[in-house]
Structure 1
Amino acid sequence: MKDTAKHQGLRNQLAAVLEKKGITDKNVLQAIKKVPRHLFLNSSFEDYAYQDKAFPIGAGQTISQPYTVAFQSQLLEVEKGHQVLEIGTGSGYQTAVLCAMGAKVFSIERQNELFKSTSLLLPKLGIRPKLLMFGDGYKGLPNDAPFDSIIVTAGAPMIPNPLLAQLKIGGRLVIPVGEDPQIMTLLIRKNETQFEKHEFGEFRFVPLLENKN
Structure 2
Amino acid sequence: MLTPRFRGLVGCWAMVGLSLAIPPALGQETEAERRVLLEATPSEAAPSRPAFAPDAWAGAREAMVRDHIVARGLDDPAVLAAMRRVPRHRFAPEVAPRRAYRDEPQPIGHGQTISQPYIVALMTARLGLEPDDRVLEVGTGSGYQAAILAEIVREVVTLEIIPALAVQAAERLEALGYTNVTVLEGDGYYGDPARAPFDAVIVTAGARHVPPPLVAQLRPGGRMVIPVGQMLWVQNLLLLEKAADGEIRTRNLASVRFVPLTGGH
> For residue 238 of structure 2, what is the aligned residue in structure 1?
185
Distance in 1 between residues matched to 2:144 and 2:253, nearest whole Å = 22
Q: Which has the higher helix share?
A: 1
Equivalent residue, structure 2, for 1:205: 258
Q: State the distance in 2 between where 1:150 and 1:183 align.
A: 16
Alpha-carbon distance in 2 for matches of 1:60, 1:103: 31
Select the structure with the greater relative contact order (CA < 8 A; seq sep ≥ 6). 2
Deviations 1:79-138 (A, max 9, x none): 112000000000100000000113410000000010111111111111234311001101
Displacement after TM superposition at 1:5 (Å): 4.3
Matches within 5 A, 1:137-148: 137-148=188-199
* 1:62 maps onto 2:113 in alignment: yes
Are the equivalent residues in 2 in contact too, given 1:3–1:36 (CA < 8 A)? no
Q: 1:102 is matched with which residue: 134, 153, 157? A: 153
| 2:50 matches 1:9 | no
Listed as ranges, the gaps of 5+ residues in structure 2 are 1-51
Q: 3-state DSSP class of the match of 1:169?
A: strand
CA distance in 1, matches of 2:144, 2:236: 22
TM-score by length of structure 1 reads 0.94
Mapped contact 2:199–2:219 kept (Cα < 8 A): yes
Moved more, 114-123 or 2-11: 2-11
**Alpha-carbon distance in structure 2 between the residues aligned to 1:36 and 1:172:** 27
Contact 1:109 1:133 in 2 (8 A): yes
Matched positions, count: 211
So what's the TM-score if we normalise by structure 2?
0.76
Aligned-partner residue type, residue 171 of structure 2: L
Contact 2:94 2:108 in 1 (8 A): no
User: Equivalent pairs: percent with the same residue?
Assistant: 41
Indicate whether 1:164 and 2:251 are aligned.
no
Structure 1 residue ranges without an equivalent (≥5): none
